[in-house]
Structure 1
Amino acid sequence: MDKNTVVEFTGRQETADPLTELLRRGARELLQQAIEAKLSTFMEGFKNRRLDDDRAVVVRNGHLPRRDIQTGIGPVKVNWLC
């Protein structure tokens, strides 16, 4: 019973296919827009809240490191806003 039944999946490596690259770019842009919209909605909810010294309670703090989001066409790198 030493039979190995593990099947390697080789369909997710990076490709040079122009259509796949177009789809990845579109997915990346849509994800970035969704993240930006979510952040804008969150920030809007706190825009009138101030600390005692009149500074904003919630402020943007830049970007977190790029992360991969797994999609149907493979991982897509996106910037996370904070």
Structure 2
Amino acid sequence: EKYGAKYEKAVTCLIKDRDALLAFYDFPADHWDHLRTGNPIKSVFATVRHRTVRTKGALSQKTAKLMVFKLVQAAAKTWRRLKGANQLPMVIEGVTFTDGVATQSADNRAA
């Protein structure tokens, strides 16, 4: 209501995509740091890309695969552990989270 008159297109876009924008809060609060990551796949292979560009042409296909495997294996030692890993089974089971906190359904509540 406040910005609708001045920024009509932006407000329309936000209203249209509201569910997708707020889906972030449907996950456990411990996972929010990991969900905010820009591109985890790209950062994982940055080391590999950096090394393979330097050795271009000096490798056969077999040795290139071996080098990439070893680089990823070495890089894996520095990866951060997932916060709230104990909550993954609840996410898979479909437990509903509201603002990062698991909510109990009416069936599970004690009288």
TM normalised by structure 2 equals: 0.29
More helix by share: 2
- Highest RCO, 1 vs 2 (Cα 8 Å, sep ≥ 6): 2
Query: Which structure has the greater CA radius of gyration?
Result: 2
TM-score normalised over the length of structure 1: 0.36
